[in-house]
């Protein structure tokens, strides 16, 4: 008897996006193709004492459209965003989680920070009135795995239930790990991705203290400018990107719409510095992902980059792409959609995996906006300022996080 594992093929049948460009996938995609910017002055709190006064907030997002009123106090925004995106992804996929398959459907949604807003609010209450003022919902509203927990309860999915918190690689790791779960036959489908709701006084203040954020308070719309010579830091964003991943034969049997096939996943560590990136980790993660897919580097047509708009990060990623792809680096297209959505931290990998899949499905590459001043260190084709029709068979999505944690996902056009 053979013990060789036959890997299952895994496809994307549902996409749910909540972003600063819109509260649905359709709105987000339309905004991306139009080169719309979701960055503006912060409305969530008083920024008079803050060095950075702008962010990429979601617009007109009402939790009551997705959660019953009595449940709202039990959750933080990262949970609201995850539920909203998961509901859209499931509706979009048409997957019915019946008792017959409930134990074969899992949930794997991560967050880089979790309930920062709830933590700040409850800490203030404790300082003002003592420990007895702390809400009994404080812990379940703030811990990272409760996005997965609530989505599991909401959908009745009884399969694998997990979460990850790997900074800005979170969403990509959650999707990649879910891919592996289906690939080895431990689930038929996974609801997976990343979510973040960390536009709060402490979060914005903390990132500003470490000089990670852009300080263009006079011009927020042009603050996120990946690969541009005048870039000065990232813009914090919020939202979620959630997939329904499904085993191919199961998806075909029910006549599901298939956006793309996920064919490669890689993980590496820089083992270098807590915040400063190193070129070798991103280089290796791209090559590992390509090898996992069993293709040649020259077959990749598009990379949705990590591209945060930081001086060091964008130059480092450019060097890594050149090192991984050689001369082909100058023939493929790259873009950073963070120029429009800001950086969703733990939600970025989910959102950008969704965008990469839509780029393959629609054969259109969203642009890098605010690109005005070429940087000799960032000399690849970043699809400046306007979306572009393209032939895309394979596309890569990069996510790199503090602590040197890297993830990449490779998608293939499904026909």
DSSP helix/strand/coil, 223: coil
Q: Which of 207, 228, 253 is the last residue of a domain?
A: 253
Question: What pLDDT is recorded for position 212?
Answer: 98
251 to 6, 9, 295: CA distances (angstroms)? 18, 10, 24
CA angle 220, 34, 20 (to 5 degrees): 50
Each residue's pLDDT tens digit, 29-56: 999 999 999 999 999 999 999 999 999 9
Question: What pLDDT is recorded for position 415?
Answer: 87
Question: What pLDDT is recorded for position 5?
Answer: 76
Tell me the pLDDT band of 6, cut-offs 50, 70 and 90.
confident
Give the range of the structural domain holding residue 103, as residue numbers without chain letter. Answer: 10-253
Same domain, yes or no, for 291 and 381? yes
Each residue's pLDDT tens digit, 198-208: 999 999 999 99
Q: Is the Cα torsion angle 96, 101, 102, 108 positive or negative in sign?
A: negative
Same domain, yes or no, for 288 and 220? no
Mean pLDDT of 228-234: 98
Taking the CA atoms of residue 210, residue 214, residue 220 and residue 221 in that order, the dihedral angle to the nearest 10 degrees is: -130
Same domain, yes or no, for 401 and 270? yes
Report pTM. 0.97
Distance CA 28, CA 193 (A): 16
Q: Which residues are tagged catalytic?
A: 168, 306, 343
Tell me the pLDDT band of 3, cut-offs 50, 70 and 90.
low
- Count CA atoms closer than 13 A to 128's CA, side-chain side: 8
Q: Which of 232, 253, 274 is the last residue of a domain?
A: 253
Same domain, yes or no, for 235 and 270? no
Whether residue 5 is contained in a domain is answered as no
Residue with tokens 């979701």: 38
DSSP helix/strand/coil, 108: strand
Residue-averaged pLDDT of the chain = 97
Cβ atoms of 53 and 70 closer than 8 Å: no
Same domain, yes or no, for 237 and 287? no
Question: What pLDDT is recorded for position 254?
Answer: 97
Of 161, 350, 358, 152, the C-alpha closest to 239 is: 350
Each residue's pLDDT tens digit, 339-396: 999 999 999 999 999 999 999 999 999 999 999 999 999 999 999 999 999 999 999 9
Whether residue 258 is contained in a domain is answered as no
CATH of the domain at 375: 3.40.47.10
Tell me the pLDDT band of 4, cut-offs 50, 70 and 90.
low
Tell me the pLDDT band of 2, cut-offs 50, 70 and 90.
low
Each residue's pLDDT tens digit, 380-405: 999 999 999 999 999 999 999 999 99
Same domain, yes or no, for 330 and 231? no
Distance CA 191, CA 110 (A): 11
């Amino acid at each position: 008897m053979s013990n060789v594992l036959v890997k299952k093929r895994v496809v994307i049948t549902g996409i749910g996006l909540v972003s600063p460009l819109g509260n649905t996938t359709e709105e987000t995609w339309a905004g991306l193709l139009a080169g719309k910017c979701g960055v503006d002055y912060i409305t969530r709190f008083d920024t008079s004492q803050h060095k950075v006064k702008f962010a990429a907030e979601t617009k007109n997002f009402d939790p009551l459209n997705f959660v019953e009123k009595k449940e709202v106090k039990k959750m933080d925004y990262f949970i609201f965003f995850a539920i909203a995106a998961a509901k859209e992804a499931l509706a979009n996929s048409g997957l019915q989680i019946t008792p017959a398959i409930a134990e074969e459907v899992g949930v794997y949604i991560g967050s880089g920070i979790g309930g920062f807003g709830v933590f700040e609010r409850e800490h203030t209450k404790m300082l003002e009135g003592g420990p007895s003022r702390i809400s009994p919902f404080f812990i379940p509203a703030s811990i990272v795995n409760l996005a997965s927990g609530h989505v599991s309860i909401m959908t009745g999915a009884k399969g694998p239930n997990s979460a990850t918190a790997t900074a800005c690689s979170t969403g990509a790791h959650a999707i990649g790990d879910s891919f592996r779960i289906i690939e080895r036959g431990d689930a038929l489908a996974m609801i997976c991705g990343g979510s973040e709701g960390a536009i709060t006084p402490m979060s914005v203040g903390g990132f500003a203290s470490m000089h990670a954020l852009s300080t263009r308070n006079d011009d927020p719309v042009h603050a996120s400018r990946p690969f541009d010579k005048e870039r000065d830091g990232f813009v914090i964003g919020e939202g979620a990107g959630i997939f329904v991943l499904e085993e191919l034969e199961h998806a075909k049997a029910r006549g599901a719409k298939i956006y793309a096939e996920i064919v490669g996943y890689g993980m590496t560590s820089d083992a270098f510095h807590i915040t400063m990136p190193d070129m070798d980790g991103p280089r290796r993660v791209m090559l590992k992902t390509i090898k996992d897919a069993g293709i040649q580097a020259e077959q990749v047509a598009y990379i949705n980059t990590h591209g945060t708009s930081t001086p060091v990060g964008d130059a480092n990623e450019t060097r890594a792409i050149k090192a991984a792809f050689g001369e082909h680096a100058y023939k493929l297209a790259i873009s950073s959609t963070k120029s429009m959505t800001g950086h969703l931290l733990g939600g970025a990998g989910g959102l950008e995996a969704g965008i990469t899949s839509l780029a393959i499905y629609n054969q259109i590459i969203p642009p890098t906006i605010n690109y005005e001043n070429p940087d000799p260190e960032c000399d690849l084709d970043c699809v400046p300022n306007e979306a572009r029709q393209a032939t895309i068979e394979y596309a890569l999505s990069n996510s790199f996080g503090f602590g040197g944690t890297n993830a990449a996902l490779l998608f293939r056009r499904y026909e």
